[in-house]
Protein backbone atom coordinates (compact mmCIF):
# COMPACT_ATOMS: atom_id res chain seq x y z
CA UNK A 1 0.00 0.00 0.00
CA UNK A 2 3.10 2.22 0.16
CA UNK A 3 2.58 5.89 0.99
CA UNK A 4 -1.17 5.78 1.43
CA UNK A 5 -0.87 3.26 4.23
CA UNK A 6 -0.42 6.01 6.78
CA UNK A 7 -3.41 8.11 5.72
CA UNK A 8 -7.05 7.74 6.71
CA UNK A 9 -9.02 5.62 4.27
CA UNK A 10 -12.16 7.45 3.17
CA UNK A 11 -14.43 4.72 1.84
CA UNK A 12 -16.80 6.98 -0.11
CA UNK A 13 -13.87 8.68 -1.79
CA UNK A 14 -12.27 5.36 -2.71
CA UNK A 15 -15.55 4.13 -4.19
CA UNK A 16 -15.74 7.25 -6.36
CA UNK A 17 -12.50 6.29 -8.12
CA UNK A 18 -13.77 3.33 -10.13
CA UNK A 19 -16.75 1.83 -11.89
CA UNK A 20 -17.80 -1.72 -12.60
CA UNK A 21 -19.23 -4.50 -10.49
CA UNK A 22 -17.59 -7.34 -8.58
CA UNK A 23 -14.17 -5.76 -8.93
CA UNK A 24 -12.50 -5.65 -5.53
CA UNK A 25 -10.20 -2.68 -4.91
CA UNK A 26 -7.68 -2.88 -2.10
CA UNK A 27 -7.70 0.23 0.10
CA UNK A 28 -5.67 -0.97 3.06
CA UNK A 29 -4.16 -3.85 4.97
CA UNK A 30 -4.80 -5.34 8.40
CA UNK A 31 -3.07 -8.34 9.97
CA UNK A 32 -2.37 -10.06 6.67
CA UNK A 33 -5.80 -9.23 5.28
CA UNK A 34 -6.78 -6.93 2.45
CA UNK A 35 -9.36 -4.24 3.16
CA UNK A 36 -11.32 -3.90 -0.06
CA UNK A 37 -14.20 -1.89 -1.43
CA UNK A 38 -16.38 -3.30 -4.18
CA UNK A 39 -19.48 -2.26 -6.10
CA UNK A 40 -21.95 -5.06 -6.66
CA UNK A 41 -25.05 -5.59 -8.73
CA UNK A 42 -26.73 -8.78 -9.88
CA UNK A 43 -25.77 -12.27 -8.81
CA UNK A 44 -22.26 -13.46 -8.01
CA UNK A 45 -21.48 -17.15 -8.54
CA UNK A 46 -21.91 -19.65 -5.74
CA UNK A 47 -18.59 -20.32 -4.03
CA UNK A 48 -16.91 -20.96 -0.72
CA UNK A 49 -13.57 -20.30 0.94
CA UNK A 50 -12.21 -23.34 2.73
CA UNK A 51 -9.56 -21.42 4.63
CA UNK A 52 -11.16 -18.13 5.62
CA UNK A 53 -14.27 -16.43 6.86
CA UNK A 54 -15.68 -13.77 4.55
CA UNK A 55 -16.43 -10.32 6.02
CA UNK A 56 -19.09 -8.11 4.43
CA UNK A 57 -20.08 -4.63 5.63
CA UNK A 58 -22.68 -2.94 3.45
CA UNK A 59 -21.81 0.74 2.99
CA UNK A 60 -24.62 1.69 0.60
CA UNK A 61 -27.71 -0.05 -0.72
CA UNK A 62 -28.93 -3.53 0.03
CA UNK A 63 -27.27 -6.90 -0.45
CA UNK A 64 -28.54 -10.41 -0.04
CA UNK A 65 -26.05 -13.07 0.94
CA UNK A 66 -27.63 -16.24 -0.36
CA UNK A 67 -26.77 -19.33 1.65
CA UNK A 68 -27.92 -22.79 0.64
CA UNK A 69 -30.56 -22.92 3.37
CA UNK A 70 -31.63 -19.26 3.51
CA UNK A 71 -31.04 -15.68 2.44
CA UNK A 72 -29.42 -13.08 4.69
CA UNK A 73 -30.64 -9.57 3.81
CA UNK A 74 -28.23 -6.74 4.63
CA UNK A 75 -28.62 -2.99 4.42
CA UNK A 76 -26.15 -0.17 4.91
CA UNK A 77 -24.53 -0.34 8.33
CA UNK A 78 -24.91 -4.10 8.62
CA UNK A 79 -22.18 -6.75 8.77
CA UNK A 80 -22.38 -10.40 7.94
CA UNK A 81 -19.54 -12.89 8.28
CA UNK A 82 -19.82 -16.01 6.14
CA UNK A 83 -17.98 -18.74 8.06
CA UNK A 84 -15.21 -20.55 6.22
CA UNK A 85 -16.38 -23.48 4.15
CA UNK A 86 -19.96 -22.18 3.81
CA UNK A 87 -21.27 -21.82 0.27
CA UNK A 88 -22.67 -18.39 -0.54
CA UNK A 89 -23.73 -16.24 -3.45
CA UNK A 90 -24.01 -12.47 -2.93
CA UNK A 91 -26.81 -10.73 -4.80
CA UNK A 92 -27.91 -7.11 -5.20
CA UNK A 93 -30.98 -6.01 -7.16
CA UNK A 94 -29.53 -2.51 -7.50
CA UNK A 95 -25.96 -1.29 -7.18
CA UNK A 96 -24.64 -1.59 -3.64
CA UNK A 97 -21.27 -0.84 -2.06
CA UNK A 98 -19.45 -3.16 0.31
CA UNK A 99 -16.37 -3.25 2.50
CA UNK A 100 -14.78 -6.70 2.24
CA UNK A 101 -12.04 -8.18 4.40
CA UNK A 102 -10.23 -11.33 3.31
CA UNK A 103 -6.70 -12.64 3.69
CA UNK A 104 -4.34 -11.36 1.03
CA UNK A 105 -4.54 -13.54 -2.05
CA UNK A 106 -7.97 -15.06 -1.40
CA UNK A 107 -9.65 -15.65 -4.80
CA UNK A 108 -13.04 -13.89 -4.75
CA UNK A 109 -14.71 -16.84 -6.48
CA UNK A 110 -13.03 -19.40 -4.23
CA UNK A 111 -11.04 -20.51 -7.28
CA UNK A 112 -7.84 -18.81 -8.53
CA UNK A 113 -8.74 -19.77 -12.12
CA UNK A 114 -11.86 -17.60 -12.18
CA UNK A 115 -11.04 -14.95 -9.58
CA UNK A 116 -11.12 -11.24 -10.38
CA UNK A 117 -7.77 -9.47 -9.92
CA UNK A 118 -7.48 -7.21 -6.90
CA UNK A 119 -6.57 -3.70 -7.86
CA UNK A 120 -4.98 -1.29 -5.43
CA UNK A 121 -6.39 2.19 -4.93
Interface with its own copies (CB under 8 A): 5-12, 27-31, 33, 35, 52-53, 55, 57, 59, 72-74, 77-81, 83, 99, 101, 103
Q: Which is nearer to its own copies, 78 or 113 (CB)?
A: 78
Please report how close the Cβ of residue 35 comes to its own copies at its closest, in angstroms. 7
Please report how close the Cβ of residue 117 comes to its own copies at its closest, in angstroms. 22
Question: Is the distance from CB of 35 to CB of 25 less than 8 angstroms?
Answer: no
Please report how close the Cβ of residue 115 comes to its own copies at its closest, in angstroms. 19
Amino acid sequence: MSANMADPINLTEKLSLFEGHWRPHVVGAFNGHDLMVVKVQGQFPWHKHDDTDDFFLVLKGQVIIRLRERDVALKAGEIFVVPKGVEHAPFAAEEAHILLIEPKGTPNTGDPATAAPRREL
